[in-house]
Amino acid sequence: MRTAPTILHLDMDAFFAQAEQASKPSLRGKAVVVGGLGPRGVVATASYEARVFGVHSAMPMAQARRLAPNAAYLTPRGGFYRSISEQVMGLLRELSPLVEPLSLDEAFVDLEAGGAAWDSASARLAGERLRADIRGVTGLTGSVGLAASKMLAKIASEQAKPNGLVLIEPGTERALLAPMSVRTLPGIGPATGDHLRRAGITTVEEIVEAGEDELVRLLGKAHGHGVYAMALARDDRPVVAEREAKSVSVEDTYDVDIHDRLRIGMEVQRLADRCVRRLRGAGLSGRTIVLKVRRYDFSTLTRSETLRGPTDDVAVVREAAARLLEGVDTTGGVRLLGVGVSGLADYTQEDLFALVAQAEAEALEGAGVDDGAEGSEGEGDVPPGVRDAEVAERRWHPGHDVRHAEYGPGWVQGSGLGRVTVRFETPWSEPGRVRTFRVDDPDLEVGEPLPLVRPEVEPGAASVGGVCG
């Protein structure tokens, strides 16, 4: 452990929802939910105003609508979020060569490696300057945690939310952790948390009181030692710009081919358990579960399933591996089985961008859109803008950018019955006026996102924007 809080953890506040509020003045201060809007859709991000009603990421969208029926529900704009993320990561790399992104909106930074901080005062100054720079460049807010280890820096950023900075002084970590839930520690997911609760252990202090031997008995050798060390605030993991480990896997080769399907299933479950133990021992979680099967004739099959977010839950890995095995023909016997986890992360967290990708795919699927496809036979002879209105209206996804020849840039509030409703406003304007058009209006077209921070206008140059009144 370091003697100065020079590891920084940045977490953007309700990133996707905040970006939507910043780009749409009429939604500022209001409940906003971003995600898939179809019957199978899930929430990618909810604004803090929506969280008051109990809405959170990974929640089914239908449940979110019941909890917050008056919120604004928007489909995600992945390219827009990526562009903001690139700006933020660029600011982090100005602080240090050691930046470890965890997702689009979250990263660790080793301030000491970049000479940006060497003690508490300089670390706090660097953190405050970073928050100001992010606000200046993107118009958005982020929360910063500073500590002597990655684990504590992430805990600090959680305490700082929203739009704050928390610095944990070296030497105070044990007292800070003691009353916290065991789920605070990396590597303790829902299943492990329930297992500890049944043993009467619910806080970090109770982990320490139980002792290392008891933790090993409850969780196994590797995981037990790791969790106990975390409870004592011991975390020496470095910030790494590139992850060395791409996956964690285990496999067994059998002297005699296994033919019995029941035994094959039991072997896969056993391998899943070993894989998760190794995963937890490394303080990692992963999103993609991989099954490897080498059959009697030496042909090798691999099957994989990607989850919505990283996990270290043995039950989740077991279930995924079992589903993958169902699709493999083991007639004739198998000589090797393996289970692996890839898409690794340091913490068990919902991968927001995975939810965005899912929501975008769902939107395209709902619209019957196939990139590069010409549509049904004969459709190419139909002039643009004169297709059946029911198909045309599906292009207009709530929250997406449009531009009108007369009224300028705006965004889609909704569409249906051959009509599309647009609010004309920019990130730098007052809340704009709403107008409704036919979905095939030739003056209305898909637009590009505008920057959240208004570009400086050269003297004599025309300003960007449209008629918002």
Report the binding-site residues for Mg(2+): 11, 105
Q: How far, rounded to the nearest angstrom, does the alpha carbon of residue 168 sit from its chain's CA centroid? A: 25
At 194 the three-state DSSP class reads: helix
Please report where in the chains the tokens 């791409």 appear, as a residue: 246
Tokens found for residue 56: 């959170």
Using CA atoms, how far residue 240 sits from 11, 126, 307, 350, 468, in Å, is 17, 20, 24, 21, 47
Tokens found for residue 14: 């309700």
Q: Which long-range contacts (CB under 8 A, 24 or more apart) does 408-412 make?
A: 408/465, 408/466, 408/467, 408/468, 409/447, 409/450, 409/465, 409/466, 410/447, 410/466, 411/23, 411/24
Residues contacting 175, CB < 8 A, separation 6+ = none
Sheet of 285-295: strands edge to edge? 247-258, 334-345, 285-295, 300-311
Please state, in angstroms and rounded to a whole number, the distance separating the CA atoms of residues 244 and 18.
Answer: 33
Tokens found for residue 434: 């709403």
Please state, in angstroms and rounded to a whole number, the distance separating the CA atoms of residues 13 and 140.
Answer: 8
Q: In sequence order, what are the beta bridge partners of 342? A: 247, 288
Give the DSSP letter string of 209-226: HH-HHHHHHHH-HHHHHH
Please state, in angstroms and rounded to a whole number, the distance separating the CA atoms of residues 44 and 39.
Answer: 15
CA atoms within a 13 Å half-sphere pointing along the CA-CB vector of 209: 12
Please state, in angstroms and rounded to a whole number, the distance separating the CA atoms of residues 439 and 445.
Answer: 10
- What do you get for the CA distance between the two ends of the chain, in Å? 58
Among the options 106, 173, 350, 393, which is catalytic? 106
Q: Which long-range contacts (CB under 8 A, 24 or more apart) does 113-116 make?
A: 113/239
Report how many helices (DSSP H) and strands (DSSP E) the chain contains, helices first.
15, 17
Q: For this structure, is 106 an active site residue? A: yes
Please state, in angstroms and rounded to a whole number, the distance separating the CA atoms of residues 151 and 37.
Answer: 35
- Residue 448 CB burial class (10 angstroms; 0-12, 13-18, ≥19): exposed
Active site residues: 106
